[in-house]
Structure 1
Amino acid sequence: MNRQDVIPSLVLSSYALARIAAQDAGNEAPAAQWRVLSLLEQNGPRRVGELAQAARTTQPGMTRLLGALERESLVLRSPVPEDSRATAVAITPEGSRALHAWREEFRDTLAPRFTDLDDDDWRALTRAAEILAAHTTTDSTGASQ
């Protein structure tokens, strides 16, 4: 594989692993739910428009998703003091617990696929994960991509 194809290959493989983990675990929650909860956990409360932009969806679509998350007590919407038209969304303790449980489920579901890796392979994956984490940029809303 040539250098310019490595990053796209890693991204596509990551998407595939996420789909496999969700299917194997029988987790029917939309992937967007976990993306939004992750964004909120990493970056704190955000306005609906900021979340929509960071999650690459429409504001009406984000509003619908947030309504579902709020009904499940995973997020809490509240007015923004300096802008009465705006709403800020924060992850709740229940949302953090659900996100943590999903990450554990994700890890445990995928673990059997990697049991044949040796120490060198684990070192390579660990280093790749570190490099990718270090090169995750922040978009204009301040949310990690």
Structure 2
Amino acid sequence: MTQQLRTVLGDLVSVNSRLTRLAASASGNTESPAIWRTIAVLRDLGPMRLGELARVSRVSQPTMTKLVRALDERGWVRRIADAGDARAWLISADPSGIAALDAWREEIAAVLEPTFDDLSDDEVATLAASVEIVRSRLERARAARMAGDVA
């Protein structure tokens, strides 16, 4: 990896964190970011056991248990039987949870818009292309991890 790529990737992670903090602050939304992250993980990766969800989300299992309980009380997740183990449950995003996540994303996009509304069409296209590059690399990395888990 070139030093330039390392620098750009470090900057991308850093600026993403700053953007996330700005969005949370500007929106005034009082939900824990962990709520949205949990629903997004379930939306993106599909149903999974509580321990796996905790690992992927980088929180402890007791913390994830609390998050899932709060999401379950709102009807934003569902517990479904694990076909591979009758004693276990999988946690799945409920359509109402996905709708809440979509509404939150719309809310933060709206509050961030004034910060970016003077971008040129070319700059917006560059941002859109950048998002697609990152998304495709994340999907490729996920597929490689999944293939490694199966092997």
Q: Same fold (TM over 0.5)?
A: yes
Where structure 2 has 5 or more consecutive residues not aligned to the other structure, the ranges are none
- Look up the SS of the partner of 2:14 in the other structure: helix
Stretches of structure 1 that go unaligned for 5 or more consecutive residues are none
The secondary structure found in structure 1 opposite 2:29 is coil
* Larger RCO of the pair (alpha carbons < 8 Å, separation 6+): 1
Maintained 8 Å contact 1:54/1:141:
no
Which ranges of 4 or more aligned residues in structure 1 deviate by more than 4 Å?
139-142
User: Partner residue of 1:29?
Assistant: 31
Question: In the comparison of the two structures, how many residue pairs are matched?
Answer: 142
Candidates 110, 134, 137, aligned match of 2:136: 134
Counting aligned pairs with the same residue, the percent is: 37
Correspondence for 1:49: 51
Alpha-carbon separation, structure 2, partners of 1:116 and 1:82? 52
Q: Which amino acid aligns with 2:15?
A: S
SS in 2 for 1:46: coil
Higher helix share: 2
Quick one: which of 90, 108, 111 aligns to 2:110? 108
**TM-score scaled by length of structure 2:** 0.85
Shift of 1:8: 1.3
How far residue 2 of structure 1 moved from its aligned partner, in angstroms, is 3.5
Deviation digits for residues 53-94 of structure 1 (CA, Å, limit 9, x no counterpart)? 111111111111101111111111233233133220011121
* Partners of 1:27 and 1:108 in 2: CA distance: 13
Match of 2:86 in 1: 84
Q: Distance in 2 between matches of 1:79 and 1:47?
A: 10
Change (3 A) 1:140 1:48: farther
Aligned-residue offset at 1:141:
6.6
Q: Distance in 2 between matches of 1:115 and 1:14?
A: 18
